[in-house]
Structure 1
Amino acid sequence: MKGKTNQRPVLVIGAGPIGLTAALALRRFEIPATIIEAEPKERIRPGSRAIYFHKATLEHWEDIYPGLGFTFAKHGVVWPVKRTLFGGKEVYIKRYPAPNRNELPPFTSLPQVEAEKFLYEACVAAGVEFIWNSPVRQVETNENGVIVTTESGEVWQADYVIGADGARSVVRQSLGIELEGPRSRDRFVVVDIEEDPSAPLPLERVFHYQHPAMGGRNVLFVPFAGGWRVDLQLFAEDDAQQYGNIEGVRQWIPKVMDKKYADRITWVSMYQFHQAVARSFTDEHCRVVLAGEAAHLFAPFGARGMNSGVADAVAAVKAIHAAFQEGERSKAKQIIAEAAQERKTAAQYNRDCAGLALEHIQGRSPVMNMKRELAASLSSIIPSLGKWLDEGPYGPKSGPPQLATKY
């Protein structure tokens, strides 16, 4: 295949949920869409990974492929209750009204593999072209377009490229765009647990500050369709292997759940807080737009990564569509540059929110500790303090008008 050149108006690099969203949005604007994916079609994606999808994300999917947002809502779960405890004492509880079947819910929760399945099926129905098992080796841009070379030597030319190839993005690295921002030392163990359908747990999202059975470590329980996500925050001095390997998890899970769940573990992983944003979301020629983890890395708390990535993909496609409509190259270039800057601003906002969330939950600041303990002690008298404790681990929900709900 070496030496062969393929022409396409737009290429999407990466067939994860962000790349699939970008391709589907292209088809919404009647632009041919081709996805180049490094892995084979039959790849196995372990674990639940991103499980929480905001209403704004469901609205994006519903807009680019009518019915898709409701498909997610139908197959996910919306928990009716969320609770927050501090040292074993409940400090906040909120009950949600039953969702209206004719409206998109405020969120839905289901495994990422299911999300990718629904997106892939929509892409196939919309006529998206897939090129599987083709790792990209190099991406080059000029004023006339983009040249993409795969590891096999195949060459692709396009007017525009959307880089959605994840945290180790070859697209971003080829363009010499660096990620900027710190990586925290804080480590979290994340565990997927299959629910027992014969005797399921109450459908509640529960956050424990200083769980008494875990030596004061924070523990988060999040239900999703078919199972539970359990996050355990480690202390700096903790042995990651002791808590983070499968045998270690089997030792501590019975301290926070029924012991039967120790035999229902399906996936264990570990992560650190990332707060990184690409220096630019486009290249100097404004021919490539980065989206999702190719453009930013956030901590999972607050579900900002996946949800902001979907917004990145939709914004990129809208800009590319507008650029195609614009006859003058300088104006088309400006359209791409402005869209890229807008999404970078959104990413910086999300990065700052993740930083505030980390400060809130890590328990290292004496001032923050004092605030948390005072809020917990007074939450029964001043409910707003309990709400502050509940929202703290996820960062602020509001921001500049264009960013507040669209992540």
Structure 2
Amino acid sequence: MSAVAVVGAGPVGLAAALAAHALGLDPVLLEARPRTAARPGSRAIFVHRATLDHLDRVSPGLGESVFAQGLVWRTKRTLWAGRQVHVRTYAPTAAVPFTSLPQTAVEDLLLRACDAAGIRSVWGDPVQEVHSTPAGVRLRTEGGAVHDAGHVIAADGARSRVRAQAGIALQGDTSTTEFVVLDVAADVRSDDAERVFHYRHPGAGGRNVLLVPFRGGWRVDVQCRAGDDARDLVARAPEWLPRVLPQAPDPRITWSSVYRFQQRVADRFTDAHRRVLLAGEAAHLLPPFGARGMNSGIGDAVAAARAVRAGSVDHYARSRRAAAEANVRAAGAALDHLLATGAGRRCLQWAAATASPVWPRAGHWLDTAPYGPRIRAVGY
């Protein structure tokens, strides 16, 4: 019997396996996909400093390797209908709180660290049944294999089979407004990279647009308007993208997707026997705005391994659910600001944009509000 089985080999599951190994728990990693399966898109591209620190603790040097592969942008700029309302550039000597690179690159580095640590892994055999008892958990896969473990860390994503088998439900809301996200290939340099948010971009039909550089390209995030056909907007991207992203006049789109703001949290983060611990998207669904998903999930992963080692699963369930609820509230505040459905909110934004040339705090508010309030990293 393994002390802990980790289900799911995305960034959260890989981090959980590394954390468990660092604590001497001899984990086994179980992943439904074949190891060589293609992984589309850059997905999460923003790695917080707290996450880099977590990775360094579970595998010395790993956080620094992730940082070195990523891109650091030091200027953030916000415009209103094409007019600049805020800009800030951090000095090269300032402490860097993040790095920006595709999730696939993060996963590759995590997987290499797992391999180097000798962590056992089983690929291409989905978990089908989860039977939890006071003494441990038995997992049965689609191929008929049986894995017994003292605890299970479920990091198997938004459609978590483990969560469903444990009888745990997600609670919360999904927005009706759609967002289009595109990856555009480009050679972006740190010295001229900027994060740019446009309110009412004139080149995108007055839609809100977020541009974020990362190692290897640009993330373009467009907020659809009422009545938009999001997939038609994706299909017509070659027409409007050069107006939105002049840094890439002949854009090569490498990935596209349509998403809605998810604000959902599991009603419990552990099963009745305190043997199954949910982490990452198995435990909470958050929108890309604010870079909360992968970062909070890796925080879950490290805390879950510590809880198994310390026998403090109840504390894990309470503290990480509280962290997820705080992230959901922040995401809700961000969505309310982006939608600006009420006349009062729209007038407030317009007034801030008008006042920004003489009142910098107004421009700063317009710059930060689309991502929701900043949340202090929740420790364990």
For residue 79 of structure 1, the aligned residue among 69, 73, 76 is: 73
Alpha-carbon distance, 1:257 to partner: 2.2
Q: Matched residues in 2 for 1:263 and 1:310: separation?
A: 33
Tell me if structure 2 keeps the 8 A contact 1:56–1:406.
no
- Please give the root-mean-square deviation of Cα atoms over the aligned residues, in Å: 1.6
TM-superposition CA deviations, 1:226-281 (whole Å, max 9, x none): 11000011012111222023xx1112102212395444111111100000000000
Alpha-carbon distance, 1:126 to partner: 1.2
SS in 2 for 1:271: strand
Unaligned runs of at least 5 residues, structure 2: none
Q: Matched residues in 1 for 2:8 and 2:56: separation?
A: 21
Structure 2 residue 191 is the aligned partner of structure 1 residue 219: no
Structure 2 residue 176 is the aligned partner of structure 1 residue 176: no
Structure 2 residue 44 is the aligned partner of structure 1 residue 59: no
For residue 123 of structure 1, the aligned residue among 111, 114, 119 is: 114
One-letter amino acid of the structure 1 residue matched with residue 106 of structure 2: A
Q: How does 1:158-307 map to 2 (within 5 A)?
A: 158-196=149-187, 202-245=192-235, 248-258=236-246, 261-307=249-295
TM-superposition CA deviations, 1:86-113 (whole Å, max 9, x none): 111111111112157xx7x300000011
Alpha-carbon distance, 1:80 to partner: 1.4
Q: Matched residues in 1 for 2:85 and 2:356: separation?
A: 6
Tell me if structure 2 keeps the 8 A contact 1:397–1:405.
no
Alpha-carbon distance, 1:393 to partner: 0.8
Q: Matched residues in 2 for 1:320 and 1:54: separation?
A: 25
For residue 48 of structure 1, the aligned residue among 42, 49, 55 is: 42
Tell me if structure 1 keeps the 8 A contact 2:75–2:195.
yes
Q: Matched residues in 1 for 2:249 and 2:55: separation?
A: 34
Tell me if structure 1 keeps the 8 A contact 2:287–2:293.
yes
TM-superposition CA deviations, 1:176-221 (whole Å, max 9, x none): 1110001001111100011157x99931000001101212100010
Aligned to 1:4: none
One-letter amino acid of the structure 2 residue matched with residue 405 of structure 1: A
SS in 1 for 2:18: helix
Q: How many residues align?
A: 379
TM-score, normalising length: structure 2 = 0.97
Q: Matched residues in 2 for 1:288 and 1:261: separation?
A: 50
Q: Matched residues in 1 for 2:191 and 2:126: separation?
A: 42
Aligned to 2:89: 95
Q: Matched residues in 1 for 2:93 and 2:102: separation?
A: 20
Alpha-carbon distance, 1:405 to partner: 2.2
Aligned to 1:338: 315
Q: Matched residues in 1 for 2:245 and 2:71: separation?
A: 20
One-letter amino acid of the structure 2 residue matched with residue 387 of structure 1: H
Q: Which runs of 4+ in 1 moved over 6 A?
A: none
For residue 23 of structure 2, the aligned residue among 4, 29, 42 is: 29
Q: Matched residues in 2 for 1:99 and 1:317: separation?
A: 35
Q: Taking structure 1 as reference, are residues 201 and 261 closer, same or farther at Cα in structure 2, changes over 3 Å only?
A: farther
Structure 2 residue 29 is the aligned partner of structure 1 residue 39: no
The 10-residue stretch of structure 1 (91-100 or 42-51) with the greater mean CA deviation from structure 2: 91-100
